Amino acid sequence: WPVLISVICSPPQNYPLYIRSIPTENELKFHYTVHTSLDVVDEKISAMGKALVDQRELYLGLLYPTEDYKVYGYVTNSKVKFVMVVDSSNTALRDNEIRSMFRKLHNSYTDIMCNPFYNPGDRIHSRAFDSMVNSMMMQVC
């Protein structure tokens, strides 16, 4: 089952810090999917802006379904976004599983940020992060 995991920089740059997909061919299509999903993320964040920022849920839920994929989103307090694209027919994935995957992703990202040699905004090149994403993808596929 195709799957994609990406980490996207906070605005205004909004470029992907990390993007991994299976299969790797036709990745550009995934790029478009994730890129357009940011509209929904922005909208959801701005809608939440009215609510208390501290208490808000980081998990944004299903951003939008397409014919073949489901796009889920998660946003940290620093507006770094995690977007995951999974196959629509993959019924094994419930909201709870997705949510916990995002948590893992967030924790791993936090580890990267703790690295004094990492500049926020740089693309992520981390073996630990890679292996975490790998294991996550194995679990989903």
3-state secondary structure 78-123: CCCEEEEEEECCCCCCCHHHHHHHHHHHHHHHHHHHHCCCCCCCCC
The packing angle between helices 127-140 and 95-114, to 10°, is: 170
Residue 28 lies near other proteins (rule: CB under 8 A) = yes
- Chosen residue from 2, 10, 22, 35 binding other proteins by CB under 8 A: 35
- Count of residues of this chain found to bind other proteins when the rule CB under 8 A is applied: 21
- Chosen residue from 10, 22, 38, 45 binding other proteins by CB under 8 A: 38
Q: Is the CB of 32 or the CB of 117 nearer to other proteins?
A: 32
Q: How many CB atoms lie within 10 A of CB 99?
A: 16
Q: Which residues bind other proteins (CB under 8 A)?
A: 12-16, 28, 31-32, 35-36, 38-40, 42-44, 47, 64-65, 67, 121
